């Protein structure tokens, strides 16, 4: 199946007590669907999955599936460095009606190549939905080289990769390719990849949609949004939540150990949004 080209790695909005703000989540999905997003990845890094308990995590998945805007897709992050837990969350997300599963490489415990293969075999067997592998060595320590990705592609249901190691960006036999970093979206499209799982599309969705629909202008558009893309990706999800709050979206703060952007950090984000004309659209 096709998940679409612009998939937003959705933040999890919190209220003033840092409980999940369910209405804000639904409202944000509706807004993003009108501004370029083909689908949503919920409960990933940007969605602060590490600080959600299982009940909260699955409730966010349920809400996303229940209230997905017409024509959009939902992928649930269910990764863990505990294979049994990853399998459990994958089974539950599948039952809730997701279109796909995002499974990050196990972090901290540094599995071997054979361990990674065994891990993903278990996860893929727990669902009948497409599995998106997520390679992000800057966060999980372990890198998955392209020859191993090609081997993992032989596992039934392992159909895509979200590549967040820019040095590894390449088409791999058997896997649809999604850019895992916003700055490589254009390169990914140019080489025939599927699209991007994006942080910046929270605020740049219209422009990113234009990059898909107007390939002849892709480089020009990408250059025009580079400053905002960089500003909202400084520290994810701290920076993007600050940007969304500046733009009038009710997404709230962050759970420890993440903290809100400070005055200096917020000033940099505000300046980038202002120069791009994005703050001009905020109601007074």
Catalytic residues: 134, 162
Dihedral pair phi/psi, residue 234, rounded to 5°: -60, -50
- C-alpha 268/C-alpha 120 separation (Å) is 40
State the angle between helix axes of 238-246 and 263-275 in degrees (0 to 180), rounded to the nearest 10.
60
- C-alpha 218/C-alpha 279 separation (Å) is 23
> First vs last Cα of the chain: how many Å apart?
42
252 Ramachandran zone, left/alpha/beta (phi>0; psi -120 to 50): left
- C-alpha 68/C-alpha 258 separation (Å) is 28
- C-alpha 101/C-alpha 42 separation (Å) is 10
* Cβ-contact 12, 60 below 8 angstroms: yes
* Cβ-contact 77, 49 below 8 angstroms: yes
Residue 82 per-residue DSSP state: S
């Amino acid at each position: 199946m096709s998940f679409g080209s612009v998939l937003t790695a959705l933040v999890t909005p919190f209220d003033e007590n840092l409980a999940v703000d369910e209405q804000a989540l639904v409202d944000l999905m509706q807004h993003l669907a009108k501004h370029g997003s083909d689908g949503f990845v919920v409960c990933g890094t940007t969605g602060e999955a590490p600080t959600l308990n299982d009940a909260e995590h699955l409730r966010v998945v349920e809400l996303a599936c229940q209230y997905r805007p017409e024509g959009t897709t939902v992928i649930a992050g269910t990764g863990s460095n505990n294979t049994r837990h990853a399998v459990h969350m994958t089974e539950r997300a599948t039952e809730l009606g997701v279109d796909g599963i995002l499974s990050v490489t196990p972090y901290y415990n540094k599995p071997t190549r054979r361990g990674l293969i065994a891990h993903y075999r278990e996860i893929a067997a727990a669902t009948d939905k497409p599995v998106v592998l997520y390679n992000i060595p800057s966060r999980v320590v372990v890198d998955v080289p392209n020859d191993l990705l090609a081997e993992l592609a032989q596992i039934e249901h392992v159909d895509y990769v979200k590549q967040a190691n820019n040095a590894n960006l390449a088409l791999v036999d058997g896997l649809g390719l999604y850019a895992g970093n916003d700055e490589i979206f254009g390169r990914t499209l140019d080489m025939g990849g599927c699209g991007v799982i994006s942080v910046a599309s929270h605020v740049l969705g219209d422009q990113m949609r234009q990059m898909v629909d107007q390939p002849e202008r892709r480089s020009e558009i990408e250059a025009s949004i580079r400053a905002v893309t960089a500003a909202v990706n400084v520290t994810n999800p701290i920076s993007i939540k600050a940007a969304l709050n500046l733009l009038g979206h009710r997404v709230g703060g962050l759970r420890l150990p993440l903290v809100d952007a400070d005055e200096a950090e917020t000033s940099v984000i505000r300046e980038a949004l202002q120069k791009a004309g994005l703050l001009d659209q905020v109601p007074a």
